[in-house]
Structure 1
Amino acid sequence: MKKIQSWGKFPKTKHSACNFVWRNGMLPQPARDHGTILPFGNGRSYGDSCLNHNETLVLTRKLNHFISFDPSSGILCCESGLLLSEILRLIIPQGWFLPVTPGTKLVTLGGAIANDVHGKNHHNAGTFGCHVIEFELLRSDKGRLICSPRSNKDLFSATIGGLGLTGIITWAKLRLLRISNPFMEIENIQYTNLNEFFDLSHDSNDDYTYTVSWLDCMAKGKSLGRGIFSRANHAAPCLDKTPSTPCDKTINFPIDAPQFLLNRFTVKTFNQLYYHKQLKPAKQKKGYFDPFFYPLDSIHNWNRLYGKAGFMQYQCLIPFEDGNKSLESMLKLIASSGYGSFLAVLKTFSDIKSPGMMSFPKKGVTLALDFPNHGQNIFTLLDKLDCIVRDSGGSVYPAKDARMSSCSFQHYFPQWQEFQNYIDPIFSSSFWRRVTGELS
């Protein structure tokens, strides 16, 4: 058995593992009779949706070949184990960019589809799945299937956001976004409360491709919900001055940090310093795309910051109708608990519908936070946050979850029973068994 972890390093698991080397190869079988398998990309999922405890993981990173690319149309076809970073290395010099990208480029193409990832541009581009043209799905019961909005459309819908449970995506074809250069025009704006955040989001949606906010989750009183709002566009073809291009070197976080370093004082101090780092209320700049989209990718093994016990990432969606009230309740609860987050992100989703049956984004506001795993106190806090989310009519992102109850999941995603019909007979995951009450 091999010790393979998610990026959050919780829960601790053991697996049998095998490589899937060729896209035309046979589907790997479970290591034990009546066992199950699950595809595993680059292990950047935070929770247990990428884990299959005591069962078999099928490692897909060796599916790393480009199949075709048309620089005139921006149509790319490649194997599912390629990282987004590897795709960017090919397409950016030819004037193209990913239509949607999450906060790390170190995820596989297959993982981006299986989690139907979203980015800072949901208000005008939707999710990653909105830009997938077709893919090949390898199943144990039906062999190889080409899935698209016109062919095997039910499996196309179930696989986008389907957490790797419907089969192995061997290759995929997607539409890219045309850009003029690898630079961004960015504006960072300090705001003092949630009302200002919503005003900035509303005013920015039409003129800016990307919007996102860092949030000080330890602020209280009149400062509750304060943060730094960032909005950006890809730079125009002609730049007065070409910004510098950073080197590709990364900083390595060498060891698991001692858990006592992550306490109320250090988190609050970091949040205060980060909020006040900007001397002017608004600051404009031009810069390379990488730090804007992927700030943490420059820190190798940054998850060690949270110690050996790992951390929980909690991302929820709150409908706009109840957004301000529920967010205020959540932020008050977090600030009073003392278990604040260094990395708290607030952004909005539009009503652009994903083709994915189990896709997470819907119209509303989404809050994402990292919490060190301090044991039962953290689980109790997250359960209380779940109650607020449920009462608002919102949901929690399965791709980042490691602990929500089956009751909460089934409330958030009532379509789960329909989705279950499309799961491959020999596929399963730790997450799925947990949220559906299946026995391990």
Structure 2
Amino acid sequence: MKQISSWGRLSADSHHVLSLSDPRQARHLVCNAQLLGLAHGMGRSYGDACLNPDGLLWLTTGLNHLISFDENTGRLTCEAGVLLRDIQQLMIPRGWILPVTPGTQMVTVGGAIANDVHGKNHHLLGCFGDHVEHIVLLRTDGETIVCSPTQKPDWFAATIGGLGLTGLIIQAELKLRRIAGPWLETETIPYDNLDKFFYLADCSEASWEHTVSWIDCISGIAGRGIFMRGNPDNISHLPEPTINKRSMPFVPPLSLVNRLSLRPFNSAYYNLKKWRAGKGIAHYTSFFYPLDNLLEWNRMYGPKGFFQYQSVVPRENGKAAIQEMLKEITRSGDGSFLAVLKTFGNRQSAGMLSFAQPGVTLALDFPNNGQRTHQLFAGLDAIVRSAGGRIYPAKDARMPRDLFEAGYPRLNEFINYRDPGISSGLSRRLMGS
């Protein structure tokens, strides 16, 4: 038994742990398990989607082999435990890149598929699942299912964004895209209200591949922030940057993100970015994964851990809903430093339980202050529910079951594809088993 935490560090639950190292051994361990199991990669889900308290975890990071790559088409076949970081480091110098990545590259391919992660270019390229060509899925009864958008498409749709509940992803084929190099042309633009944010988001979609913004969620309902956009650049003469990674060396006795620190911290960040606004050149690692250079940054929230609350609401309700959320946060007296606001494009995701949908998404990190934090979330839930939105399961640790059911209308269809030998903390909380 080992105590395993997710990235939010809200608990340290006991698990039986088995490490998988090759597909044949994985088949034996998965098919002969005496307990309900769950695949576990890097554990970067914030809540209990990657946990199975008192159950079995199959650690997949040992399934980390690249199987084949076609230099002409960009098709990469690999095992599910391969890290996105390793694909990027190997393929970008060869002129290929993952089309979609989340805000950290310390994620396995299997985890990216199971959570159908999104990046800063949803309006152009959708989610990770939109670039998966096929999946090899191992069920706990020994059945192997090979599925794709054209071969057993129902299984494919259930597994993309399926939270690891349809079986163990053993292998996948990904479609990479051509890239000239590791650099991006960027522009940073401060804004002082939500109208300007939406204007920037709308006018950027036609000519900028990547768009995202930081929002100061304690500056009032007007919503000031920093809008960032980027395009791949064909610069070739710049040297690779020296990356000085730092680590949060210990867990402080109290969260460093609190009522005393937030306002000066947010104000300093906004003014620094405003002062540095304008066009520039950025390496893909600093633009896509700014937090990866601070190892164990989740420790800064102290021994009680933290929640991430990420919602998406339809665009027609977006401005009003975001304003109501900012008002609720101001009323609570709490706030978030890591607050990300962006729009999703007008496209449907590949998975039955995929999170991304057309609209506007707001992601917020909050230290765990017990009942006070849960009261804030109840207020935010009411706003999301009224706006016809949903919460991201990969980030969730406390979503009410009724909000999950209302936000994911294909849930009853998805349940038919669940593997009865697989369970998670999230599935027991939101699906009953």
Q: Given the two structures, how large is their TM-score scaled by the length of structure 2?
A: 0.97
How do 1:149-160 residues align onto structure 2 when only pairs under 5 Å count?
149-160=149-160
* TM-superposition CA deviations, 1:152-175 (whole Å, max 9, x none): 211111000000011111110011
Aligned to 2:227: 229
Aligned to 2:304: 309
In structure 1, C-alpha distance between the alignment counterparts of 2:138 and 2:119, rounded to whole Å: 28
Instruction: Give 4+ residue runs of structure 1 displaced > 2 Å after superposition.
Output: 27-33, 242-249, 278-282
Aligned to 1:319: 314
| DSSP-derived class of the 2:89 partner | helix
Q: Which moved more, 1:24-33 or 1:266-275?
A: 24-33
Q: Which moved more, 1:75-84 or 1:135-144?
A: 135-144
Shift of 1:425: 1.4
Asked if 1:430 is matched to 2:421, the reply is no
> Is residue 30–residue 37 contact of structure 1 (8 Å, CA) maintained in 2?
no
In structure 2, C-alpha distance between the alignment counterparts of 1:278 and 1:214, rounded to whole Å: 10
From 325, 329, 350, the equivalent of 2:324 is 329
How do 1:12-411 residues align onto structure 2 when only pairs under 5 Å count?
12-25=12-25, 26-29=27-30, 33=34, 35-141=35-141, 143-220=143-220, 224-235=222-233, 237-238=234-235, 242-259=237-254, 261-280=256-275, 282-411=277-406
Q: What letter is aligned with 2:121? A: N
Unaligned 5+ runs, structure 2: none
| DSSP-derived class of the 1:278 partner | helix
* TM-superposition CA deviations, 1:328-359 (whole Å, max 9, x none): 01011112212111100001101222221110
Q: What letter is aligned with 2:72? A: S
Aligned to 1:415: 410
> Is residue 27–residue 138 contact of structure 1 (8 Å, CA) maintained in 2?
no
In structure 2, C-alpha distance between the alignment counterparts of 1:303 and 1:246, rounded to whole Å: 25
Shift of 1:261: 3.4
* TM-superposition CA deviations, 1:273-307 (whole Å, max 9, x none): 11110354841101211000000000110000101
Shift of 1:428: 0.7
> Is residue 125–residue 352 contact of structure 1 (8 Å, CA) maintained in 2?
no
| DSSP-derived class of the 1:403 partner | coil
In structure 2, C-alpha distance between the alignment counterparts of 1:29 and 1:111, rounded to whole Å: 17
How has the CA–CA distance of structure 1 residues 177 and 32 changed in structure 2, closer, same or farther, with 3 Å as cutoff? closer
In structure 1, C-alpha distance between the alignment counterparts of 2:173 and 2:255, rounded to whole Å: 47
Shift of 1:141: 2.9
Q: Which moved more, 1:259-268 or 1:125-134?
A: 259-268
Shift of 1:20: 1.6
In structure 1, C-alpha distance between the alignment counterparts of 2:241 and 2:224, rounded to whole Å: 30
> Is residue 181–residue 235 contact of structure 2 (8 Å, CA) maintained in 1?
no
> Is residue 243–residue 286 contact of structure 1 (8 Å, CA) maintained in 2?
no
> Is residue 37–residue 56 contact of structure 1 (8 Å, CA) maintained in 2?
yes
How has the CA–CA distance of structure 1 residues 405 and 12 changed in structure 2, closer, same or farther, with 3 Å as cutoff? farther
> Is residue 27–residue 140 contact of structure 1 (8 Å, CA) maintained in 2?
no
Unaligned 5+ runs, structure 1: none
Q: What letter is aligned with 2:51? A: L
Shift of 1:27: 4.5
> Is residue 138–residue 170 contact of structure 2 (8 Å, CA) maintained in 1?
yes
> Is residue 257–residue 305 contact of structure 1 (8 Å, CA) maintained in 2?
yes
| DSSP-derived class of the 2:260 partner | helix
Q: What letter is aligned with 1:8? A: G
Shift of 1:13: 1.2
> Is residue 31–residue 142 contact of structure 2 (8 Å, CA) maintained in 1?
no
> Is residue 255–residue 302 contact of structure 2 (8 Å, CA) maintained in 1?
no
| DSSP-derived class of the 2:161 partner | coil
How has the CA–CA distance of structure 1 residues 264 and 30 changed in structure 2, closer, same or farther, with 3 Å as cutoff? farther
| DSSP-derived class of the 2:375 partner | helix
Q: What letter is aligned with 1:289? A: Y
In structure 2, C-alpha distance between the alignment counterparts of 1:306 and 1:217, rounded to whole Å: 18
Shift of 1:411: 1.4
Q: Given the two structures, how large is their TM-score scaled by the length of structure 1?
A: 0.95
Percent identity reads: 49
> Is residue 186–residue 230 contact of structure 2 (8 Å, CA) maintained in 1?
yes
